[in-house]
Amino acid sequence: MSSEKTIEKFNKHVMQSYGRYPLVMEKGSGRRCKDEDGKEYIDFGSGIGTNSLGYCDEKWADAVCAQVRTLQHNSNYYYTAIQAEFADKLCDISGYSRVFFGNSGAEANECAIKIARKYSFDKYGKGRHTIITLVNSFHGRTMATLSATGQDVFHNYFFPFLEGFVNVKAIDIADLKEKLDDTVCAVMLEYVQGEGGVNALDKEFVDAVYELCAAKDVLVIADEVQTGVGRTGKFLAGDWFGKKADVTTLAKGIAGGVPMGACLVNEKLGNVLTPGTHGSTFGGNPIACAGGLAVIERIESEGFLESVCEKAQYFRNRLEKCSEVGGVSGLGLMIGITLKTKKAADVAKASLDKGLLVLTAKDKVRLLPPLTIEHEEIDAGLDKLLEVLEE
């Protein structure tokens, strides 16, 4: 089999930083992909929520390819029309004032952290640099975003981690009040903790964060790297909570599978970053912007987000009928499945054997299907998943 050769070659030179399944993805179309041995899979993972329009969506591919043939990159010393157009669209649909473009979720969060600290430094001077993050959060793999991540398993090997991050339990308002002292410049949260187990925050807790932060000119940073860009059935998950953070970070699905991260800020923070204080060689790359524009144009189309909500409900209804399912968490097409007896990793492996890609998050099975998934595909995939669960 050709996949064995590929895997051998791969493992010879690529660092072993992931636990991979022994299969080689070759191509995809719509919500299905094929491996090198010709086996087909229905995709309920979208490359961890990045292929928001599925595989190789025609309009998206046309937009990306046209940009590749026009201007693939230039330095941020010059302007490009495509970056202007994407920034304009993104700010318009999200309700933010300005954006900084990077290439990943971690970079978007790095930017948010720098903005929070500089805003506070500019206005209040040194010593007001602490950022409160939540227990069970996940903010990325760089040194700063690892330090921000509120899970001890990530705080190993790479000592020393960055100073100035403290954690609060996502339900403990009293603890939040106590830790919101005069050293704090921001609170950072995911409305639905993704890697932490697909858990939506409590509305009461979110309300308390906003209220307490507003009273002390402490910024709220919403890490919407996983929840943003239509994933939950609104453009931003914050819309479900009736909240607009000072800073919102996006990545994963933002450009339909081309690397991009974005850090959006409100009016008050629009001028915190000044020339020379932040940068990225690839940030706002024209190809990524073209992909991003195609994604937003689709999300804006009539009835698109309503259909995400409708499909999400459909998923939930079918899953909740299964006797092995202890509960379904998350929001929109960000779905966490609690299992009664089985192990999530075993379910993911058994699903793969049946031709279905799913993800896990802690002890849950996690689904992040492409936003464009159709009912026939949902049914075909759920038939496989429920077969595994009921075995």
Ligand X SMILES: *Cc1c(COP(=O)(O)O)cnc(C)c1O
List residues near ligand X by CB under 6 A.
104-106, 109, 138-140, 190, 194-195, 223, 225-226, 251-252
C-alpha–C-alpha distance, residues 51 and 30, integer Å: 10
Closest separation between CB of residue 249 and ligand X, Å? Answer: 7
Q: Which is nearer to ligand X, 57 or 195 (CB)?
A: 195
Closest separation between CB of residue 261 and ligand X, Å? Answer: 6
Q: Which is nearer to ligand X, 200 or 225 (CB)?
A: 225
C-alpha–C-alpha distance, residues 299 and 203, integer Å: 26
50: phi then psi, degrees, rounded to nearest 5: -95, -40
Closest separation between CB of residue 147 and ligand X, Å? Answer: 13
Residue nearest to ligand X (CB): 105
Closest separation between CB of residue 226 and ligand X, Å? Answer: 3
Closest separation between CB of residue 66 and ligand X, Å? Answer: 25
Q: Which is nearer to ligand X, 83 or 226 (CB)?
A: 226
Q: Which is nearer to ligand X, 194 or 292 (CB)?
A: 194
Cis peptide before 160 (omega within 30 of 0): yes
Closest separation between CB of residue 103 and ligand X, Å? Answer: 8
Q: Which is nearer to ligand X, 246 or 377 (CB)?
A: 246
Closest separation between CB of residue 301 and ligand X, Å? Answer: 25
Note whether 363 and 341 are within 8 A (CB): no
Closest separation between CB of residue 107 and ligand X, Å? Answer: 7
Q: Which is nearer to ligand X, 129 or 139 (CB)?
A: 139
Beta strand 364-367 pairing with 334-339 = antiparallel
Closest separation between CB of residue 6 and ligand X, Å? Answer: 24
- Cα–Cα distances (Å) from 179 to 125, 183, 247, in that order, read 20, 9, 21
- The Cβ-side half-sphere exposure at 312, using a 13 Å CA radius, reads 23
Q: Which is nearer to ligand X, 219 or 361 (CB)?
A: 361
Q: Which is nearer to ligand X, 101 or 388 (CB)?
A: 101
Q: Which is nearer to ligand X, 294 or 334 (CB)?
A: 334
C-alpha–C-alpha distance, residues 26 and 3, integer Å: 10
Q: Which is nearer to ligand X, 209 or 251 (CB)?
A: 251
Closest separation between CB of residue 106 and ligand X, Å? Answer: 3
